[in-house]
Amino acid sequence: MIQNNLICLSPEVREALANNRPIVAMESTIISHGMPYPQNVETALNCQRICRENGAVPATCAVIGGKLCAGLTDEQIDYLGREGHRVTKASRRDLPMLIAKKMDGATTVAATMIVAAAAGIRVFATGGIGGVHRGAETTMDISADLEELAETPVCVVCAGAKSILDLNLTMEYLETKGVPVIGFGTDELPAFYTRQSGIPVPWRSDDPKEIADAINASKTLGYPGGMLVVNPIPEQYSMDANVINKAIDEAIEQAKEQGIKGKETTPFLLAKIKDITGGSSLDANIQLVYNNVRLAAKIASNL
């Protein structure tokens, strides 16, 4: 159990927890590393608005001054957006030193799950999770997000794993770790920018209440980890698979040529794909995040 003096809750989140109101956690790496300024701040603030419109309290998470924060102010969100890559991209491994040094950090999926679980928040909306990178059989580049899903009891709502990854191996890894994967209104894993990957998911649900019931069942069973709900990007914003896959291949080749590795890989690839597609990938990214927040709020409202 994380000590209370390490956790900072906004008054709105604290009141929602005290009164058993629905809450949705949101990450902050998407603000600092996932999008350019000012779209990053606009997207984060719109996510909070959409969450409230769908009946839940938003809890954007980050590390501020060495504290695990759930529920950022507009000023803190703007600060993360302006600082961008100068803010530490914080995963599980980074939290102890950020706390010790009283530094700031933008939380990844893994770190946001840790903050959410510490605060008692059970549902988290993001864009896409990390996963097994292409070529991981030699690089061993596997996102800590997958391990966190196996260990931390938070339901993550996303548009699948980012399509820059090896989606087949990512699904195999989740199966090995025993993470329940549910397709919302779909029988296959969405590929982030597109609705289909051809990779089946083990379960489908068309009802947010049914998903909430599954979360409660997981808790009753004593499962230590979380759950993954994959929610396809809305049809009108889905990109052409050939266009986006060509852009991804080109971006990956550029990353290899420039020696980009580790936690810098995903931000580099997303930025390159945005440039190659003339910004259309960023537009799709923003819309799929909004779609995930709506669904997460509905699931949280049924818990």
Asked about 274 being catalytic, the answer comes back as: no
Q: What are the start-end ranges of the E strands in the chain?
A: 7-9, 23-26, 57-64, 67-70, 88-90, 105-107, 123-125, 155-158, 181-184, 203-205, 227-230
With CA atoms as reference, report the closest residue to 5 among 101, 118, 98, 113: 118
Asked about 162 being catalytic, the answer comes back as: yes
CB 252, CB 164: distance < 8 Å: yes
Instruction: Record the tokens describing residue 148, joined without a space.
Output: 């966190």
Residue whose tokens read 């703007």: 78
Strand partners, 60: 26
Helix/strand/coil percentages in the chain, nearest 5: 50, 15, 30
User: CB within 8 A of 238, min separation 6: which ones?
Assistant: 193, 194, 195, 232, 284
CB 35, CB 43: distance < 8 Å: yes
The one catalytic residue in 162, 263, 274, 298 is: 162
Residues serving a catalytic function are: 27, 162
